[in-house]
Amino acid sequence: MADKEFPGWHGTTIIGVRKGGKVVIAGDGQVSLGQTVIKGTARKVRRISPGGYDVVAGFAGSTADAFTLLERLEAKLEATPGQLQRASVELAKDWRTDKYLQKLEAMLIVSDGRDLYVITGAGDVLEPEHNIAAIGSGGNYALAAGRALMESDMDAEAVARRAMQIAADICVYTNGNLTVETIDA
C-alpha cells in the first residue's frame, strides 16, 4: 500500500496531572487504523525504575517509536540517576539531532513525582503550565477538561480520570479503558 493510501494509525490520549503532592499519568487503551478500532486495551502508561528511581511515562504515537524512546530515556536515567530533567533534555537533544531518531513519531509525558514534562521530537522538553499536560488524539479535550477540574476538590487521580472520560466522550480515537499510574512527590 502506498504511503498516500495508508489511512494511518490513530488513537491515544495521555494526561498528566500534578496536584496535592502527587502526579498521575493516565492513558486510554484505544488503537485505531483509519475508521477501525484495532485494539481497545493497549497499555500506554508505564512505570520504569532506572537506577532505583521511579519514573512514570505515558506515550502517544507509534508504539514501536514510543518504546524506542522509552528505552533511550531509561538509558539516560541510568546514566544520570534521579535527574529526570537532565535525562529528558539529553533525550530531546538526541531525538532532534540523530538521523534515525528524527523519524520517530511519538511524544512522551514523564514524571518522577516532582517534575512533569512533555518531550517531543522537535527537541522540546516542556514543563506544562497549570500542572497539567495532555498529548495524543484526544489530548486537547482532556487538557481542557482537566484544567477546568483543577480548581475543584478532586484529587489528581480523580481529575485525570474525569478528564479522560470527557475526552473519550468527544474523541472517536479515545476510549474509557484506562491505565493509571500515580507517583508521589
41 is catalytic: no
All cell numbers assigned to 111: 514524571
CA geometry: angle at 43 spanning 20 and 74, to 5°?
Answer: 75
Spell out the residues 6+ positions from residue 102 whose beta carbon is closer than 8 angstroms to its own: 95, 96, 121
Q: For residue 42, what are the CA distances in angstroms to 29, 58, 61, 88, 114? A: 4, 12, 12, 24, 27
Q: What is the DSSP letter of 50?
A: G
* Cα Rg of the chain (Å, integer): 16
88: part of which helix (H) or strand (E)?
Answer: helix 84-97
Nearest-angstrom CA–CA distance, 127 and 115: 8
All cell numbers assigned to 89: 533534555
Residues marked active site are found at: 12
